[in-house]
Amino acid sequence: MSEGVEWALHSCLNLSWVESGQAVRTATLAAFYELPSAYLNKQLQALARAGILSSTSGPRGGFRLARSPEAITLLDVVTAIEGPEEAFRCDQILRQGPGGDAETDYRQTCLISQGMRRADLAWRRELAAQTLADIKSAVERQFPAAPQNTRNRLAALRA
Amino acid sequence: MSEGVEWALHSCLNLSWVESGQAVRTATLAAFYELPSAYLNKQLQALARAGILSSTSGPRGGFRLARSPEAITLLDVVTAIEGPEEAFRCDQILRQGPGGDAETDYRQTCLISQGMRRADLAWRRELAAQTLADIKSAVERQFPAAPQNTRNRLAALRA
């Protein structure tokens, strides 16, 4: 998985603490963790395409969450950045095996493929069961200063 | 995940159908699915290092399963090929955040990292719950000709 997933998850969490309605520029979100702005921007654009962030232009433009943290799962963010492909790559080598058939979709019939898919589904289920709101409230319980610290740093970087 | 995982899983399954004690050369295992021999050999060597296959040299040498299919899980094979790293890459960007601390191991304390790890564990658990013996017997139930077809093709390729 690319480093972009970590950047995207933390950026979404930071945006969940921004005063509502306020957009944050890529440069500010990047400076928050000293990330390369151009590359972070690619991740933010991907999140916008997936409907997780919305982007506005102009002097007060930038990114904000496009929906509530309750409606954003870890799976949504991972899929936005990494795409919907399964981790296991099935190239259907059974086509070249004995009795292999060019018409058969071995991604469906191959029992090895099915076993790997079962694990992939367990992973997705677990990611889908955790929302940004869950993470947000867990962080707020454990690190009560985090929201205000985040807003303070964003304000300082914006200035 | 690399294509090597698919090759390794199918090669292990094929080796589970070989008359016991018989070793199969890389070239034969590769020809079975028309795979590039040199690259498959890297995967077979990795499986041998992980104690899943054993390798012998000499005119009757090659690879065989080093332990019974009941004692080989999908996770063993995936880990042998892909390494033990988690799919999610945590570069601890919180170190650069407000109050970030160079001494803290954020892979442990960061709640985003923990959430991602929960999904990784679900994936591993599911892979660890499936053995080569499970796959083998499921294939034999659904495709009863598979073991003999496999032995026949291996014999033909060996000749």
Domains of chain B, CATH where assigned:
3-85+131-158 (1.10.10.10)
**What is the model's pLDDT at position A120?**
96
How far out from the chain centre does Cα A16 lie?
14
A-chain residues near B88 (CB < 8 A): 1, 5-6
Q: What is the mean pLDDT of chain B?
A: 95
Q: How many CB atoms lie within 10 A of CB A84?
A: 9
Residue A141 Cα distances to A144, A154, B52, B101, B106, angstroms = 6, 21, 45, 19, 17
Task: Kindly state the tokens that stand for A134.
Answer: 């869950």
> Is the pLDDT confidence value at B159 over 80?
no
Inter-axis angle of helices B111-128 and A132-142, nearest 10: 120
Q: What count of Cα atoms within 13 Å lies in the side-chain half-sphere of residue B3?
A: 8
What part of B 117-136 touches A (C-beta under 8 Å)? 118-127, 130, 134-135
The b/e string for B145-156 (b: 16+ C-beta within 10 A; e otherwise) is ebbeebbebbee
Using CB atoms, pick whichever of A33, A126, A149 lies closest to residue B118. Answer: A126
User: CB of B98 within 8 A of CB of A13?
Assistant: no
User: CB of A86 within 8 A of CB of A75?
Assistant: no
- For residue range B118-143, list pLDDT tens digits in order: 999 999 999 999 999 999 999 999 99
- The pLDDT confidence band at residue B150, using thresholds 50, 70 and 90, is very high
How far out from the chain centre does Cα B16 lie?
14
Query: DSSP characters for B73-120?
Result: BHHHHHHHHH-S--SS----GGGGSTT--TTS-HHHH-HHHHHHHHHH
pTM for the structure as a whole:
0.92
> Is the pLDDT confidence value at B21 over 80?
no
- The pLDDT confidence band at residue A60, using thresholds 50, 70 and 90, is confident
B-chain residues near A3 (CB < 8 A): 89, 91
User: CB of B118 within 8 A of CB of B86?
Assistant: no
Asked if the Cβ–Cβ distance from B9 to A99 is below 8 Å, we say no
Phi-psi region for residue B80, left (φ > 0), alpha (ψ -120 to 50) or beta? alpha
Mean pLDDT over A8-21 rounds to: 94
User: CB of A28 within 8 A of CB of B115?
Assistant: no
Question: Does residue A155 sit in helix, strand or coil?
Answer: helix
Task: Kindly state the tokens that stand for A135.
Answer: 């993470």
Which residues sit opposite A64 in a β-bridge?
Answer: A54
Mean pLDDT over B53-75 rounds to: 95
When scoring A111, A151, A157 by the number of chain B Cβ atoms within 10 A, the one with the most, hence best to mutate, is: A111
DSSP A73: B
Rounded Cα–Cα distance for residues A122 and B81 (Å): 21
Q: What ipTM does this complex have?
A: 0.93
